[in-house]
Amino acid sequence: MNKLGKIISLAALAAITTIGLAACGNKASSQKLTTVTIGGIGSDYETWKHIATTPQAKKLGLKLNVKEISVGKQLNDETANGDVDVNAFQSYAYFLAYNKETSGKKLAALGTTYLEPVGIYSDKYKSIKKLPKGATIGISSNPANGARELLLLQSAGLIKLKKGFDTFGTSRDIVSNPKNIKIQELNEDSAARYLKDLDAVLISNTIALEAKLNVLKDSIYHEKADDSTKDNINILATTSKQKNNKTYKKLVKLYHNKAIQKWIKNKYAGTKVEVTKPLSYLEK
């Protein structure tokens, strides 16, 4: 074969290779993805924005449209109405309270994600034992979260609640208050702002993270992951009609992917404790 013939042959081979690679690329890019709109608040929004960019999401055939909404009830309302497919922000107790209080469409849990400990914080005192008599402590004005925080105050030994106190209880259910603690209800979204004014404030981890607080290091007392706090485990939620949606169920598997969990642990300094319990654990 002469020199010109070799050049022509090599050019033809290169063209065939290029066409083949292009075909493979088109095949890969033609993978059909199902779009799911996920609503989140604060760190949950950040987490799902990250998950949306991962190869793990694409591998499961998911294209995630992540929407940020700052108010929990609004996010639940939009989910119930179908404007959001799945939401990621709430504890199981908050979910139960929403379904009990709303007269409209109900929500359903898809699966468990994590426990985010609520902490008791103070700018004035270094330990729970140092809180003085008559101390004023701020808790959430949200009924479900307020009940959760009263249980934490009981766990810390500051108050005693009536027998059978549950996620719908209030400060009126305090039966013993040896230090004469004064309970002040606050808008939980701005709870950290009251640290300079009150003796102590109970702050959810989502709000604490926004205030640059680490519940494991900066609180003077915080929740532990055990059976007594199982109602505080966070969930993914959707409409009751979609509770068995196989595509939405993939989001639970995606959240617990090892690579994604490593990112979450590093990003939030271990303050989001992974929970892989089945829904039946919460429903007992």
Which residue reads 């640059």 in tokens? 212
Q: Domains of the chain, with CATH numbers? A: 34-115+230-283 (3.40.190.10), 119-223 (3.40.190.10)
Question: Mind listing the pLDDT tens digit for each residue in 223-249?
Answer: 988 888 999 999 999 999 999 999 999
Q: What is the mean pLDDT of the chain?
A: 90
Give me the DSSP letters along the chain. Answer: --HHHHHHHHHHHHHHHHHHHHHHHHHHHT---EEEEEEE-THHHHHHHHHHTSHHHHHTTEEEEEEE-S-HHHHHHHHHTTSSSEEEEEEHHHHHHHHHH-SS--EEEEEEEEE---EEE-SS-SSGGGPPTT-EEEEESSHHHHHHHHHHHHHTTS-EEPTT--TT--GGGEEE-TT-PEEEEE-GGGGGGGTTTSSEEEE-HHHHHHTT--HHHH-SEE--SSGGGGGGEEEEEEEGGGTT-HHHHHHHHHHT-HHHHHHHHHHTTT-SEE----HHHHH-
pLDDT over 70 at 69, yes or no: yes
Q: Is the pLDDT of residue 188 over 70?
A: yes
Q: pLDDT band at 275, cuts 50/70/90? A: very high
Looking at residue 255, what is its pLDDT? 98
Render pLDDT for 119-135 as a digit per residue (tens, 0 to 9): 999 999 999 999 999 99
Residue 2: per-residue pLDDT: 55
Reading phi first (left if > 0) and then psi (alpha if -120 to 50, else beta), residue 159 is in: beta
Q: What is the pLDDT of residue 210?
A: 87
Asked which of 127-131, 186-190, 193-197, 248-252 is least confident by mean pLDDT, the reply is 186-190
CA 72 to CA 87: how far, in whole Å? 10
Out of 105-109, 143-147, 155-159, least confident range? 143-147
Q: Confidence band (pLDDT; 50, 70, 90) for 189?
A: confident
pLDDT above 60: residue 27: no
Q: What is the arithmetic mean of pLDDT over 21-35?
A: 62
d(CA 199, CA 148): 19
Span 106-111, mean pLDDT?
97
d(CA 179, CA 135): 8
pTM of the model: 0.78
Counting residues of the chain whose pLDDT is more than 90, the rounded percentage is 76
Report the pLDDT averaged over residues 202-210: 90
Give pLDDT, residue 21. 47
